[in-house]
Structure 1
Amino acid sequence: MQKSGGDWGIVGVNLMTPPKQREIFEPQGFAYTAVSLAPEGIEPQVIPVLNDVLDAPDDPEAVLSLMADPKIKIVTSTVTEKGYCHFPSTGKLNREHPFIIEDLKDPNKPKSALGYIVRALDRRRKAGIRPFTMMSSDNLPNNGHVVHAVVVELAGMIDPELQAWIEKEVTFPCTMIDRIVPATKPEDIERVAQLTGVYDPVPVMHEPFRQWVVEDKFVDSERPDIGAVGAQVVEDVTPFEHMKLRCLNGTHSSISYLGYLAGKETIYDTVSDTVFAAYCKFLWEKEIIPAVDAPPGVSLEEYTAALFERYSNPSIRHLTWQIAMDGSQKLPQRILETVQEDLDAGRPVKGLSLAIAAWMRYVGGVDERGNPIDVRDPLAEKFKALSDAGATPRDKVEALVGVSDVFPKALQDNKDFVEGLVAAYEGLVEKGARAMAEAVVK
């Protein structure tokens, strides 16, 4: 906004309460502190781009009215993978999801992000107003296509004419955003207050690295010049998102499950262990890079070397438990698609199979020392019941592989893949995560 001019601003919308975000942001003029966590020290910066913050459950009409306002040109969504109320293995809308059921009841009181998007677009259509561009910022492959599919499906359940209008008029650009942002902890808030002399209850802690790639596919040519500050506006985001989802997110999830089981609190703690460092590099070299087409001008070897340096930043306290959340929503695009491509090409997947087995043990709810795990996942109860019902590692693996919300049929039917998971799970039980990671690399 500063570099390219124009009367632009951002309104944040919080869909879930408590806590009520407007009560937090309003006293500080809707500004917040972004804190860059570099190995050599931290650097705070006040970010004043927000005009307002709305808590949707308190006043859904205020949100819908705003989204229907022609001044709104772009709506972005950062709601995590599970926020799209879909089946990750198929991309289809989960029509039985409680939020979707609520979305259909009252057009003026939607529940999900999708409900607000569809109802707001319907208001614009009926008022003869051009639609907004709908841009996802979540870690989903082809996120624009995913959101397009579920928005169109929900619209069709409401009104076929609305569905047709959205298909014709609305654009859903794909995006890829890469920056490690650990969850803000109370001690972070205290640290920022000491550093700046100002109390900010909502600082954002982040690594110095940043990358934002956006498909050039907007409803309106009038938009902020995001390229002025380094965003890449491209014709095809796919090579960038595949590289990031598989190389970064794929190893992040893999070492988070194994690291957590081994008692490692953070990614930094995990890769500081030479065994897990070697395991991470093994995944890239042997199983992930062979399944990634590099974007033009990018060396995957240099990219992954830079990733390892980012993982090794001692200032970033990115909890393995945080990354392990919502595995049912993450595994299909972060790991399982890579596994399927490797298998189709005849490449072994013992490293990624160990990561999947570690996830299976993790969702069983008990770590290697017999301590309970606070599993956060939309399917947590189902996973726990399936795991508890299994008397042996084989029973547990076969039951969990059978969950079609996560595993595609091609993997469910691949006997060699399933046998590899059983062997990996048995090894985790007998030897532990660290020993199994070491065995993979040897």
Structure 2
Amino acid sequence: MPVLETATLERLPPAIIIPAYDRKAVRPGIAHLSVGNFHRAHQAVYLDRVLARPGQAEWGIVGIGVMDDPRERAKAEALRAQDGLYTLTECPADAPDVVRVVGSIVEYVHAPDDRMAAIRRLADPAIRIVSLTVTEGGYYTDEAGRFQLEHPAIAEDLARDVPHSVFGLVTEALRLRRDSGAGPFTVLTCDNLPHNGHVARTAFLGWAQARDAGLADWIAAHVTFPCTMVDRITPAVREADAARLNAASGVEDRAPVFCEDFIQWVVEDSFCAGRPRLEEVGVLFTDDVAPYERVKLRMLNASHSMLGLPGVLMGYRIVGEIMRDADVVALLERYLGLDAEPLLQAPPGMELHEYGALLLRRFRNPAISDQLLRIASDSASKLPVFVRDTAEGTLARGADATRIAFLLACFAEYLRGRDDGGAAYEVVEPHLGAEDRALAAEADPARALDMSVFAGWGLGENAAFVALFTRLRTAIRDQGVRATLHGIVAGEG
């Protein structure tokens, strides 16, 4: 089995698609912070396509790892050893898998090794776009949209001479570029947040203002922060997955990725230093990303939460299993059709009912064994983004809030760390404090609605919703999630 690296590309099994361009001629023009599986299955794929177009060789990617943990170090070592190459297995529901080698990452920097070196790399005038995927909760903005300078992680980093955070790395690089006359770059967020470009602008300007008001003014005047909508289901790759993928491809890859065959990227066309011709490879550029963003967040991402939280409690662990549960499918169909769709306006060229049906087909794809624990993780950050607007709209129009109350009750019970069968699982909620956890654990079921996750939703002030939430959470405690869900679907709840 050949080891994946530049020297072995031409010797890979013939069924594998390899880059259709000369990687030696590629020059980095984009730096991406936090090179996770999603970036490698999404943005890096679009750049791989664009590099095969004439005159686009200046748009290679410098991957920059930000976190300092064993997994991130192993990934950095793997990608460096493989010259930035990795295999991506795209898995259609009803056709053979397609394996390709993605070649758009031509350099990898692990910032914790030398953060000043990472800052200087970002300050290189050739870098014209800095993109990032730091998760929904990674922007440290509060309910009012204010950057949380007082947050311990931010306050600690602001005190450092050489910062560790993405905000510090990018802002200090912009300082160097301003001082040298190199000019600005575009900051392009690829995270699942409403108006994500505006959120990123608030966060980076908040950081800059705390360090240097003059620099903040320069950034505000010259740096652009486009909004984006990104979509591709990309599961985590466990050790067993990596072994399976390598056995199927016939390639020894230390960093394989797999994903569905669907892919979408909608981008606001606002780039201060130029951009690649991504419209030629399937990216939709628009003046208004918001309608696409709302549909995706409130339908796809919210449905993922509707799968993940009840699913973990019911003992399911992968999406393919839970999508064979008729009650779960009925829950999703009703949530999409009765709760989410009536509050949305479809963007041009989209029909909401067809989009919902497509989502269910994507979830049923047996090749995409996405982990429900991954989907359920960090729900304290996800639920306000994915579900709040639908919850508020449902209450405002006096509609049935049963499915929303059930989801939130499952979130509160998920925090206990044991499913209905008694099996323990790891609760990953990095943005949920001890006070919130204590509220969720109180004997009074309704106290969970006082958690900061639900601040501003108006749930606790709605007596009918409090009663509904209390009844469903009590039913979950007494009967389990499966029986409670069956009652809801059968019309008893």
TM-score bucket of the superposed structures, by smaller chain: over 0.9
Cα pair 2:265 2:283 within 8 Å, conserved: yes
The corresponding residue for 2:134 is 79
- 1:283 is displaced (CA, Å) by 0.3
The corresponding residue for 2:482 is 434
Q: Distance in 2 between matches of 1:284 and 1:341?
A: 14
1:57 and 2:112 correspond: yes
1:157 and 2:205 correspond: no
Q: Distance in 1 between matches of 2:229 and 2:466?
A: 32
The corresponding residue for 2:412 is 360
The amino acid of 1:422's aligned partner reads T
96-105 or 63-72, larger mean C-alpha shift: 96-105
1:276-331, CA deviations, whole angstroms, 9 ceiling, x for partnerless residues?
A: 01111010111011111111121000001011000001111111111000011100
- 1:425 is displaced (CA, Å) by 0.7
- 1:406 is displaced (CA, Å) by 4.1
Unaligned runs of 5+ in 1: none
The corresponding residue for 1:243 is 295
Cα pair 1:264 1:270 within 8 Å, conserved: yes
Q: Distance in 2 between matches of 1:355 and 1:150?
A: 30
Indicate which of 220, 223, 237 corresponds to 1:184. Answer: 237
Secondary structure of the residue aligned to 2:112 is coil
Cα pair 1:76 1:134 within 8 Å, conserved: yes
Q: CA 1:317–1:363 in 2, change beyond 3 Å: closer, same or farther?
A: same
Q: Distance in 1 between matches of 2:102 and 2:367?
A: 21
Cα pair 2:440 2:451 within 8 Å, conserved: no
1:360-408, CA deviations, whole angstroms, 9 ceiling, x for partnerless residues?
A: 11013232223333110124452433333x1232xxx32x322235432
TM-score between both structures, scaled by the size of structure 2: 0.85
Unaligned runs of 5+ in 2: 1-50
Q: Distance in 1 between matches of 2:368 and 2:123?
A: 39
- 1:414 is displaced (CA, Å) by 2.8
The amino acid of 1:106's aligned partner reads R
TM-align CA RMSD: 1.6
The corresponding residue for 2:316 is 264
1:425 and 2:473 correspond: yes
Q: Distance in 1 between matches of 2:246 and 2:236?
A: 17
Q: Distance in 2 between matches of 1:91 and 1:325?
A: 23
The amino acid of 2:182's aligned partner reads I
Secondary structure of the residue aligned to 1:411 is coil
Q: Percent identity?
A: 35
240-249 or 263-272, larger mean C-alpha shift: 263-272
The corresponding residue for 2:65 is 14
The corresponding residue for 1:278 is 330
- 1:411 is displaced (CA, Å) by 3.1
Q: Distance in 1 between matches of 2:163 and 2:396?
A: 42
1:376 and 2:431 correspond: no
Indicate which of 83, 88, 93 corresponds to 2:147. Answer: 93
Secondary structure of the residue aligned to 1:410 is coil
Secondary structure of the residue aligned to 1:63 is helix
65-74 or 78-87, larger mean C-alpha shift: 78-87
1:175 and 2:228 correspond: yes
1:408 and 2:456 correspond: yes
Cα pair 1:328 1:377 within 8 Å, conserved: yes
Following TM superposition, where does structure 1 have runs of at least 4 consecutive aligned residues deviating by more than 6 angstroms? Answer: none
Equivalences, count: 434
1:53-87, CA deviations, whole angstroms, 9 ceiling, x for partnerless residues?
A: 11111110121001111111001111111222333
Q: CA 1:4–1:141 in 2, change beyond 3 Å: closer, same or farther?
A: farther
